[in-house]
Each structure stands twice: as C-alpha cells, then as structure tokens.
C-alpha cells in the first residue's frame, strides 16, 4: 500500500480555508498516522449527518467529542439523551495513561475541561421544563401527529376555526378535549348552523387518539409557558456555547410523545429562525439519539413532514444529526439529506446483518485504501469510518478515524450533581412555574353552568307563550288550505280567469 499517497489524499481532503473542528486522526493498517487529522468545516455542519454503529462501539463518546468542539467554537448544541449517559459533559474529565497514549499517537494534546450544560425535560424527570401550546401546533401539524384521515383532519381544522372565532384559547390537552366534547354534545346544533355538520364518528376518533397521546404523559408537554428556542442558543461568560441535554431516558416506551416533541421542535425552529443560507457556521446543532424511535412508529404523513423539514431547515442554519445502530433505521428520503457520516463498527451475526453491512458500506465513497464492507466489522471502540462535506459541498475521501477522547467526564452525573445543576439554572424559574390561565376548558365550563342555571325558566316561558300561538297558527293554516282547495273556490277562480281571457 502506498502510505505516502494515502497521507496526501487525506491531508488534501481534510484541509480547509475556513474554520473547522477536529474529531480525531486518520488510521491506516490499524494504526493512527501522526499529524493526519480528520477535520469538519463549520460551514457545512448545517448539512446534517448520521452517526451509526452497534451497541458499545463508541457512538455516545463521539457525540460528546463533537459537542465539546462545537461548544468551544460558540455553537450551541441540543442533545436528545435517551440512554441518560451524556450528562458527564458538565464536569471536567480525568487525564489517564490510556488517554495520553491514544492522543500521543495522533500528536493531539489532551486537556480536561468542563462545559456549560442545561438539563431539560418533557417528561416526569427533573429539569427545565419544555412546553408548547396546542395552538402553536396548529391543525395541520396536530393532524399529522395523530395520524388523522382527511375527514378527521377537516374536523380538526374546524375546531381551531371555531376556537379562533369565539376567543377560546387552546393551550393544553384538556382544552382541546373539552371543545371536542362540546361540539359533539351541547354545541352541536350551533356548530352545524355556522360551520356545517360534524360527524360524531370523527370527533370520537380524534378524542381516542388524544387519550392515547395523553397516556404517554403528553399532558406534561402541552401547556404554558411555551419554551423559546432562542434559550437554546446561549453563550456563557467564557465564550462557550451551552450544551442543552434533553433528558429522555424514561420515554423509550413512549415513541408518540418523542415524535410529537421532535416535530414540534423542528417546526418551531424552522418558523422562528431567519433564512440565512450557507453561513460561516450553524446557529444550532441538534443530536437525535436512538433516532429509530422517531421513525419506527411514525405514520407516512409524519415521515413526509419530517423529511420536508430536514430538507428545508438547513437554510435556517440548523444542523440535524441522527444517531442510531444501523443506517437502515433511517428512511431513504432522510438518509439522502445527510452530508456527514460517522460509521462505527457493525456486527455480522446473521444473514440480515450481513445484508445491512453491505448496504451501509455502499453509502460511502469508494476508496483504494480500504475494503469498506470488511473493515466496517473490524473497527475498534472509538474508531469509525468518516466522510464529510468539504466547503464546496463535495464528499471528502473516506477515512478510518481514531476519535478523540472526550475532555469532559465520560460517565454520568450523580443524582446530587444533577439536582445542583438544575438549581443553578437561569431558566428554571422562567419555565418551571405552573401557569394555567383561563382558556377553552374554563370558558366552556362556565358557559354550560350558566345555561343549566337558566334553562328551566326558559322552558316554562316557552310553554306559556308559544304553545297556544303554534296551535292557533296551525288551525288558521288548516282553514286557509281547506278554503283554497274547495271545489267552490276552484270553480269560481276558473270562471274569473275565463272571462279575462275572452276580453
């Protein structure tokens, strides 16, 4: 093998004119090459990416290294931590003989550091609470999340229109459920006069799907105060960007809540951030761990929505990175949008595994220096196949990379440390206070209470004043009809008409 040719190709492929981050050193023949670094230009970090590999191959540590490098460059990070093993980034790491030896081989210095961290939550775990109102979702997005058909989606649009017209704020799930119950029962007649007939089968189906969402603790997510995505983009006094960790290790069995939050977040980011095209660096990088949880349970409509947002959000300066065990977990339409690929080892235990490895290896640029389908099973922990987009948007040469050791702690924080970090948060008081202002639920309950109180008097008056009138009108009408249809009247009418026509 021509080692010098390899060095020249990698050096040219990973040298950039603009600013970049370094994630490790290139390897050949199972050993790193000193001073041959794998860099990623900041300019193309908004082109999204994939980090894949079997359990225990080092994916989490790779994300930790990327997050550290981004934080150092002043680029905020949102990490969806489903396994709960990412919080150590808030504490300084420890220099060990193994780490020093690893970095010496690459000729890269190692300096233990801690990074500014914000712990967030959408579930029952402690942290700064993320919320969004039903109104912010809107009827289209909510219909796709609930996988409603066209008729049911039309009813959902009608519900939002009705609430807008009658000043009924939709803030949380109980608001939406109350409005559905109202238009199905007490308000059915008024709704039909103003907006047309609403099928009880459709409202029943929507209500059942809302209950399913509620059972996954979505009631903790819907409500006020809505989270401002600009609070994800803070910089500390030392110029380091915050690493925002969303604690999700208690929602692995709640994929509907996870996908609901994800779609809401991406839509909110897209609608809020200004258009900027290809700038010098991204505004925010989002790491989505265990990405298969989003795609596994998602309906086709939801997948189409996610694919559309992935395509469009790049121009808003947002980079999305999906982390999963196998690239086949990600739909082809999304996979095609991912410019950076970091592939840790895959294991070939079954025929299905071997087919997946073959497919994964075909996603990388061809190279004369590696047999991709073979080396992908031989990578050690903390090693990965890497290709990125250069400043012109062209894929760089494929390289096996020895990933840097994280500068921060490589294990999780203790419960006491987590509590201390949350207590020191500047956002805790802003978002963790319970706000339940008057909205559709309270307004409709008050309206129904007033109607029930006044209903008996109205009925009594109606019986006294209108019943006889209706009876009289009915009798008078019958008499008129009787006269008009009598033989005498008809003959007389024809006689008059005959005389007129003869004249």
CB-neighbour burial class of residue 76 (10 A; exposed 0-12, middle 13-18, buried 19+): buried
CA dihedral defined by 225, 228, 234, 237, rounded to 10 degrees?
-40
- CB neighbour burial string for 79-115, b if at least 16 within 10 angstroms, e if fewer: bbbbeeebbbbbbebeeeeebeebbeebebebeebbb
Distance CA 87, CA 120 (A): 11
Please, are residues 269 and 302 in contact by the beta-carbon 8 Å criterion?
A: no
Record the tokens describing residue 374, joined without a space. 């073979």
Provide the pLDDT for residue 473: 47
Q: Is the separation of the CB atoms in 171 and 207 below 8 Å?
A: no
Q: Which of 129, 187, 46, 28 is nearest to 429 (CA)?
A: 129
Instruction: Supply the pLDDT for residue 502.
Output: 47
Q: What is the pLDDT of residues 183-212, one digit of tens each?
A: 998 888 888 888 888 889 999 999 999 998
pLDDT at 501: 43
Asked whether the beta carbons of 344 and 50 are under 8 A apart, the reply is: no
Residues contacting residue 436 through CB under 8 Å, at least 6 positions apart: 172, 223, 224
CA distance 262 to 269: 11
Q: Residue written as tokens 């319970």?
A: 434
Chain centre to alpha carbon of residue 201: 29
For the chain, which domains are there? 3-131+224-431 (3.40.50.300), 134-223+438-481 (no CATH)
Per-residue pLDDT of the chain (503 residues; tens, 9 = 90+): 688 999 999 999 999 999 999 999 999 988 999 999 999 999 999 999 999 999 889 999 999 999 999 999 999 999 998 888 899 999 999 999 999 999 999 999 999 999 999 999 988 888 999 999 999 888 988 888 888 999 999 999 999 999 999 999 999 999 999 999 999 988 888 888 888 888 899 999 999 999 988 888 888 889 998 999 999 999 999 999 999 999 988 777 777 777 778 888 888 888 888 888 777 899 999 999 888 877 776 667 778 878 888 888 989 999 999 999 888 888 888 888 899 999 999 987 787 888 888 888 888 888 889 998 889 999 999 999 999 999 999 999 999 999 999 999 998 999 999 999 999 999 998 998 888 889 999 999 998 888 778 755 544 444 445 444 444 445 445 554 544 455 544 445 445 444 444 44
- Does the global pTM surpass 0.85? no
Burial class from Cβ neighbours inside 10 Å (0-12, 13-18, 19+) for residue 348 reads middle
């Amino acid at each position: 093998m021509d080692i010098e040719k390899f060095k020249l190709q990698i050096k040219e492929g990973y040298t950039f004119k603009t600013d970049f981050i370094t994630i490790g050193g290139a390897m050949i023949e199972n050993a790193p090459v000193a001073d041959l670094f794998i860099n990623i230009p900041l300019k193309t970090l908004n082109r999204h990416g994939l980090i894949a590999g079997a359990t225990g191959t080092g994916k989490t540590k790779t994300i930790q290294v990327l997050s550290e490098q981004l934080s150092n460059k002043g680029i905020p990070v949102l990490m969806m931590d489903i396994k709960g093993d990412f919080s150590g980034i808030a504490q300084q790491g420890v220099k060990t003989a193994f780490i020093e030896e690893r970095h010496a081989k690459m000729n890269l210095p190692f300096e233990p550091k801690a990074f500014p961290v914000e712990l967030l939550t959408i579930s029952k775990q402690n942290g700064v609470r993320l919320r969004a109102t039903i109104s912010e979702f809107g009827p289209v997005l909510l219909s796709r999340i609930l996988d409603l058909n066209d008729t049911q989606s039309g009813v959902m649009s009608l519900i939002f229109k009705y609430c807008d017209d009658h000043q009924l704020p939709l803030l949380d799930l109980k608001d939406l459920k109350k409005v559905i119950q109202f238009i199905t029962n007490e308000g059915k007649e008024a709704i039909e006069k103003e907006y047309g007939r609403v099928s009880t089968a459709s409202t029943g189906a929507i209500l059942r799907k809302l209950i399913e969402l509620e059972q996954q603790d979505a009631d903790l997510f819907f409500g006020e105060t809505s989270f401002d995505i600009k609070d994800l983009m803070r910089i500390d006094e030392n110029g380091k960007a915050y690493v925002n960790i969303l604690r999700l290790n208690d929602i692995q069995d709640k994929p509907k809540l996870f996908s609901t939050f994800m779609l809401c977040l991406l839509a909110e980011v897209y609608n809020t951030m200004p258009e900027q095209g290809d700038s010098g660096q991204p505004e925010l990088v989002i790491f989505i761990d265990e990405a298969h949880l989003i795609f596994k349970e998602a309906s086709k409509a939801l997948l189409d929505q996610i694919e559309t947002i992935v395509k469009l959000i790049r121009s808003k300066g947002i980079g999305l990175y999906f982390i999963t065990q196998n690239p086949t977990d990600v739909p082809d339409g999304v996979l095609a949008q991912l410019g950076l690929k970091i592939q840790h080892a895959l294991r070939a235990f079954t025929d299905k595994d071997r087919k997946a490895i073959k497919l994964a290896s075909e996603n990388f640029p061809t190279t004369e220096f590696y047999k991709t389908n073979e080396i992908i099973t031989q990578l050690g922990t903390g090693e990965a196949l890497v290709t990125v987009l250069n400043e012109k948007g062209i894929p760089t040469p494929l390289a096996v990379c020895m990933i840097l050791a994280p500068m921060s702690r490589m294990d999780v924080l203790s419960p006491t440390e987590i509590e201390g970090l949350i207590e020191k948060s500047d956002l805790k008081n802003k978002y963790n206070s319970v706000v339940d202002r008057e909205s559709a639920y309270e307004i409709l309950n008050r309206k129904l209470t007033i109607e029930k109180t006044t209903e008996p008097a109205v009925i009594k008056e109606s019986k006294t004043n209108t019943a006889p009138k209706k009876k009289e009108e009915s009798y008078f009408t019958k008499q008129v009809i009787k006269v008009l249809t009598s033989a005498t009247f008809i003959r007389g009418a024809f006689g008059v008409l005959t005389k007129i026509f003869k004249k």
